[in-house]
Amino acid sequence: MRKVSLIYNPTAGRLRRRPEEVERLAAALRARGLEVEADATTGPGDATRLSARAVEAGADCVVACGGDGTTNEVAQPLVGTETLLAVWPCGTANVLAKDLRLPRRPEALAELIARESARRISVGRAFKLENGWGRYFLLMAGIGIDATIIRSVDLELKRRSGFGAYWAAGLNFLTRLPLTPFSLALNGDRHEGTFASIANSPRYGGWFRIAPQARIDDDHLDVCLFNSRSRVVYLCYALLSLVGGHTRSPDVLYRTAREARANSNDAALVQLDGEFVGHLPMRFECVPRALRVVAPAAA
């Protein structure tokens, strides 16, 4: 371990309140004999550009300082390489950091990086065959309801209140309930739904466990498919999913698969790791053990 690149989102909640924390992490890394370069993102997609530049410059580790969206962007050029991804949780949900049990204290994270305490995890990949577009996801792909809500989130409200912006968008969605049906092909069978989570992680949005059996180092994805058109039923599912109890409902399909194909006559929307990315049709697949991440030895 010699060179470390810090890529930070200055609008992330923690860094917006305490921007000096970036220098605290950089100093902790330098104190452990590492060469550090820090770059701030300026907009969507910038973290991916900076991460690719860091890999080309020979960085041994790239640290994503922000939320899950920043981490997703930073990870894109690292998949399939030996360059380590480290995550410093500074955003709204910080789901991957929680999965990996990563510390929030800069000095503790710097120690893990310096010791190269790492593990390999699997990632998901979403892509469109017709135009070659593709993107990795670390946590989940969501089709339908959650993608529609995420697309409508007020970004200024998100900067001010974090989760509050998602609750506001969700309540607005429930008053209108603009459901878009789609089909999902799994393991040779075709199913219909109005919401699906294609998960690499058991956690969803910090609190929910929509795919409670998912593990980030499995060689498959966990798919949870819902097909209700009722506000009341979806509210019940939301409460049950706090403990993963929704999977026992006969109206909820839960399967594991190496790949899934989704299509919709009305172009249902898709999100990856909490960021809106487009609409169906798309194919989703698991890429086993494709990413090296900094993590405690017992994670």
Q: Is the pLDDT of residue 234 over 90?
A: no
Selection from 144, 173, 113 nearest residue 267 by Cα? 144
Query: Is the model's pLDDT at 139 over the cut of 70?
Result: yes
**Length of the chain measured in residues:** 299
- Specify the pLDDT at position 170: 60
Predicted confidence (pLDDT) at residue 131 exceeds the cutoff of 90: no
Cβ–Cβ under 8 Å, residues 93 and 275: no
| Mean pLDDT across the chain | 90
Contact 29, 38 (CB under 8 A): no
The ranges of the chain annotated as CATH 3.40.50.10330 are 3-116
Summarised one tens digit per residue, pLDDT across range 27-73 is 999 999 999 999 999 999 999 999 999 999 999 999 999 999 999 99
Burial class of residue 128 (count of CB atoms within 10 Å of its CB; 0-12, 13-18, 19+): middle
Query: What pLDDT is stored for residue 176 in this prediction?
Result: 65
* pLDDT at res. 45: 94
Q: Where residue 167 falls among pLDDT bands split at 50, 70, 90? A: low
Q: From 3.20.20.70, 2.60.200.40, 3.30.1360.70, 3.40.50.720, which CATH number describes the 125-288 domain?
A: 2.60.200.40
Q: How far apart are CA 134 and CA 75, in angstroms?
A: 13
Cis peptide preceding 250, ω within 30 of 0 = no
Asked if 281 contacts 128 with a C-beta cutoff of 8 angstroms, the reply is yes
Which amino acid belongs to residue 33?
Answer: G
Segments of the chain assigned to CATH 2.60.200.40: 125-288
Share of the chain above pLDDT 90, in %: 74
pLDDT bracket for residue 207 (50, 70, 90): confident
Which CATH superfamily, name and number, covers 3-116? Probable inorganic polyphosphate/atp-NAD kinase; domain 1 (3.40.50.10330)
- Can you read off the two tokens belonging to residue 44? 């969507």
Report, as an integer, the average pLDDT of 205-215. 90
